[in-house]
């Protein structure tokens, strides 16, 4: 008599149905895992739960790293999201004088894309929900995890009860205040660092205007990310598909604390953002300012990200960064792409095997992930912090514009050919870290935003080296200009003296 053994599929629990959790659930389900996805909040697709999420961080800039990750895991979804996004080709800078300055992101016209956060999250949720291997549970908050026994305690808010469930692999994608990270810290010697910056953010809605036919129209150019840099604070605006803009004010708590009354708020906006105020409207501004939440900005760093062969944190749970590079989610989605390709490289199976090779391989994958990903995540976190200074202050300086011109000139002279996202996608779907050193001169923004084949750590190192060269060249430029000026004055001094003498 022959006995057939029914294969036992491995079970993963993904905590948090944000974009990173949903993409992780999809990636594992495609590899044959049985996935339970637990989300503490209600289903955001239901009209009744809209109110809770509608006020914060309404849209996001998604760029090549995020798109490459979506393409690697769910290509159809990536295309769908891109069609629902608005391309932003550059920054539009609003000077206090009222002058506008358009600064393109890329010489080859590559752009970042403004996308509705809900649309992205719900689209990914939809895909995960449709997979026969994924079960999604809303109103289910994970409260504790026992990693030694591979079990988890969950509170079901609907029935107001708690239960315990087992897992083979736990993925914490539960955002900045991750419970899974906190639970892991009890068993892992995790180095953890958390910093609140002194600035907060507040969102304001800029309505659509009306064209001659009474149809809704954008009040600002829809294909720019708009910035009102005011040195110690700034206002930005990203376009939405309904022709409105979501404006975000980033400012130190002390500055915002002073703005208590409607008159104060209006006077402050008239002083610093008169053109934005005209577009938002006095009434709407005061209402949003007084009722929308003011939220803190947090930066967290963790190391390692995993525990043995059974737990890992991804996305904001592992690395919350300030939003100033528009890379937080891009990096989170990239985490999923890298983990998925490592699973494939090590040949991790979703079926239990008696020799336990699965556990050993999974443990290798998680260790490789921590070892290779940490330096990258620290690099982008630091770059994000620096980009705040660039956005709120440097973009208005002549020295910045001079360096930027030089940067672009060197890029044009060394002329590395544009590497398109389409050409990278097949490699990025299978290789965690495409090898090879980036050739030629590449501006920092191009590398961070448009080159997912260059890891963030390499980007940071190459940019630091290029920055020193730019500083050197700038000094040479200033010295040459100074010398030329002196020579000119010296050689024309006779004429000058005659002129002064006769007039």
Ligand X SMILES: NC(=O)C1=CN([C@@H]2O[C@H](COP(=O)(O)OP(=O)(O)OC[C@H]3O[C@@H](n4cnc5c(N)ncnc54)[C@H](OP(=O)(O)O)[C@@H]3O)[C@@H](O)[C@H]2O)C=CC1
Ligand Y SMILES: Cc1cc2nc3c(=O)[nH]c(=O)nc-3n(C[C@H](O)[C@H](O)[C@H](O)COP(=O)(O)OP(=O)(O)OC[C@H]3O[C@@H](n4cnc5c(N)ncnc54)[C@H](O)[C@@H]3O)c2cc1C
Residues that bind ligand X (CB under 6 A): 18, 40-41, 56-57, 175-177, 295, 297-298, 316, 320-322
Q: Which stretch binds ligand KYN (CB under 6 A): 4-12, 33-41, 312-320, 321-329?
A: 321-329
Q: Smallest distance, Å, CB 269 to ligand Y?
A: 19
**In the beta sheet, which residues pair with residue 177?**
none
Q: Is 174 in the site for ligand Y (CB under 6 A)?
A: yes
The residue within the footprint of ligand KYN, chosen from 33, 245, 272, 325 (CB under 6 A), is: 325
Q: What does 376 interact with, of ligand KYN, ligand Y, ligand X, none (CB < 5 to 8 A by kind)?
A: none
Q: HEC states along 359-395?
A: HHHHHHHHHHHHHHHHHHHHHHHHHHHHHHHHHHCHH
Contact characters 103-142, ligand KYN, x per CB under 6 A? ---------x------------------------------
Q: What does 322 interact with, of ligand KYN, ligand X, ligand Y, none (CB < 5 to 8 A by kind)?
A: ligand X
Alpha-carbon gap, residue 89 to 278, rounded angstroms: 24
Residue 214 phi, psi (nearest 5): 80, 10
69 touches 127 (CB < 8 A): no
Residues 201-240 that bind ligand Y (CB under 6 A): 201
Alpha-carbon gap, residue 329 to 327, rounded angstroms: 6
Q: Is 324 in the site for ligand KYN (CB under 6 A)?
A: yes
Q: For residue 482, give both structure tokens.
A: 């100074």
Q: What does 19 interact with, of ligand X, ligand Y, ligand KYN, none (CB < 5 to 8 A by kind)?
A: ligand Y
Which lies closer to ligand Y via its Cβ, residue 106 or residue 359? 106
Q: Smallest distance, Å, CB 295 to ligand X?
A: 5
Please give the order of strands across the beta sheet that includes 245-252: 100-104, 90-94, 224-229, 234-239, 245-252, 191-206, 294-303
Q: What does 179 interact with, of ligand KYN, ligand X, ligand Y, none (CB < 5 to 8 A by kind)?
A: ligand Y
Alpha-carbon gap, residue 272 to 255, rounded angstroms: 13
Q: Smallest distance, Å, CB 52 to ligand X?
A: 8
Alpha-carbon gap, residue 199 to 196, rounded angstroms: 8
For ligand Y, which residue has the nearest CB?
Answer: 18
Q: Which stretch binds ligand KYN (CB under 6 A): 131-139, 318-326, 347-355, 427-435?
A: 318-326
78 touches 452 (CB < 8 A): no
Q: Smallest distance, Å, CB 313 to ligand Y?
A: 9
128 touches 37 (CB < 8 A): yes
Alpha-carbon gap, residue 61 to 77, rounded angstroms: 17
Q: Smallest distance, Å, CB 63 to ligand KYN?
A: 8
Beta-sheet strands, E only, within 428-494: none
- The CB density around residue 283, as the number of other CB atoms within 10 Å, is 10
Residues 47-106 that bind ligand KYN (CB under 6 A): 61, 91
Residues 424-463 that bind ligand KYN (CB under 6 A): none
Which lies closer to ligand Y via its Cβ, residue 237 or residue 410? 237
The residue within the footprint of ligand Y, chosen from 14, 111, 170, 179 (CB under 6 A), is: 179
Alpha-carbon gap, residue 330 to 126, rounded angstroms: 20
User: DSSP label at 316?
Assistant: G
Q: What does 123 interact with, of ligand Y, ligand KYN, ligand X, none (CB < 5 to 8 A by kind)?
A: none
Size of the site for ligand KYN (CB under 6 A): 11
441 touches 451 (CB < 8 A): no
The residue within the footprint of ligand Y, chosen from 12, 13, 14, 15 (CB under 6 A), is: 15
Contact characters 377-396, ligand KYN, x per CB under 6 A? ----------x---x-----
Q: Is 225 in the site for ligand KYN (CB under 6 A)?
A: yes
* 292 preceded by a cis bond (ω within 30 of 0): no
**Looking at beta carbons, which pairs linking 393-396 to residues 24 or more positions away fall under 8 Å?**
393/229, 393/231, 393/232, 395/91, 395/93, 395/103, 395/227, 395/229, 396/93, 396/95, 396/229, 396/231
Q: Is 246 in the site for ligand KYN (CB under 6 A)?
A: no
- The CA-to-CA distance between both ends of the chain, in Å, stands at 119
Nearest CA among 286, 289, 299 for reference residue 248: 289
Residue 161 phi, psi (nearest 5): -135, 165
The residue within the footprint of ligand Y, chosen from 10, 19, 259, 265 (CB under 6 A), is: 19
Q: Is 142 in the site for ligand Y (CB under 6 A)?
A: yes
Q: Is 33 in the site for ligand KYN (CB under 6 A)?
A: no
Q: Is 236 in the site for ligand KYN (CB under 6 A)?
A: yes
240 touches 246 (CB < 8 A): yes
Contact characters 314-353, ligand Y, x per CB under 6 A? -xxx-----x--xxxxx-x---------------------
The residue within the footprint of ligand Y, chosen from 40, 123, 222, 443 (CB under 6 A), is: 40
- Binding site residues, ligand KYN, CB under 6 A: 61, 91, 112, 225, 236, 323-326, 387, 391
- Binding site residues, ligand Y, CB under 6 A: 15-21, 38-41, 57, 60-61, 141-142, 173-175, 179, 201, 248, 315-317, 323, 326-330, 332
């Amino acid at each position: 008599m022959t006995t057939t053994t029914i294969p036992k599929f491995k079970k993963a629990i993904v905590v948090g149905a944000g974009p990173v959790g949903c993409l992780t659930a999809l990636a594992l389900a495609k590899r044959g895992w049985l996935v339970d996805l637990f989300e503490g909040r209600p289903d955001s697709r239901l009209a009744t739960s809209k109110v809770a999420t509608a006020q914060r961080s309404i849209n996001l800039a998604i760029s090549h790293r995020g798109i490459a990750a979506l393409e690697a895991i769910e290509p159809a979804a990536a295309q769908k999201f891109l069609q629902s996004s608005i391309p932003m080709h550059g920054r539009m800078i609003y000077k206090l004088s009222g002058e506008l300055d358009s600064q393109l992101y890329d010489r080859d016209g590559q752009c970042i894309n403004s996308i509705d956060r809900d649309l992205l999250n719900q689209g990914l949720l939809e895909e995960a929900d449709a997979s026969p291997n994924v079960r999604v549970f809303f109103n289910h908050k994970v409260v504790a995890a026992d990693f030694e026994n591979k079990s988890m305690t969950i509170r079901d808010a609907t029935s107001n009860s708690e239960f315990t469930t087992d897992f083979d692999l736990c993925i914490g994608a539960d955002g900045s205040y991750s419970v899974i990270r906190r639970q892991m810290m009890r068993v892992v010697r995790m180095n953890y660092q958390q910093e609140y910056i002194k600035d907060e953010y507040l969102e304001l809605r800029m309505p659509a205007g009306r064209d001659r036919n009474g149809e809704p129209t954008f009040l600002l150019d829809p294909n720019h990310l708009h910035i009102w840099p005011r040195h110690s604070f700034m206002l930005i605006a990203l376009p939405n598909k309904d022709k409105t803009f979501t404006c975000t004010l980033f400012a130190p708590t002390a500055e915002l604390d002073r703005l208590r009354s409607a008159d104060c708020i209006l006077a402050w906006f008239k002083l610093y953002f008169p053109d934005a105020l005209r577009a938002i409207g006095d009434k709407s501004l005061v209402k949003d300012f007084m009722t929308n939440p003011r939220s803190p900005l947090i930066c967290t760093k963790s190391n390692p990200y995993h525990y043995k062969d059974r737990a890992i944190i991804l996305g904001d749970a592992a690395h919350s960064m300030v939003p100033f590079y528009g890379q937080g989610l891009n990096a989170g989605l990239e985490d999923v792409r890298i983990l998925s390709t490592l699973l494939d490289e090590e040949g991790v199976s979703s079926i239990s095997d008696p020799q336990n090779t699965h556990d050993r391989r999974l443990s290798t994958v998680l260790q490789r992930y921590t070892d290779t990903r940490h330096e990258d995540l620290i690099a982008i976190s630091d770059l994000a912090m620096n980009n705040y200074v660039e956005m709120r202050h440097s973009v208005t300086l002549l020295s910045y514009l001079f360096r930027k011109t030089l940067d672009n000139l060197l890029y044009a002279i060394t002329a590395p050919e544009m590497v398109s996202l389409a050409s990278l996608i097949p490699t990025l779907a299978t290789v965690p870290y495409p090898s090879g050193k980036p050739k030629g001169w590449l501006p920092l923004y191009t590398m961070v935003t448009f080159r997912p084949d260059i890891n963030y750590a390499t980007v940071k190192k190459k940019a630091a080296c290029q920055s020193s060269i730019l500083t050197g060249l700038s000094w040479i430029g200033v010295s040459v200009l100074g010398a030329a000026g002196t020579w000119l004055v010296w050689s024309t001094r006779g004429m000058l003296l005659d002129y002064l003498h006769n007039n």
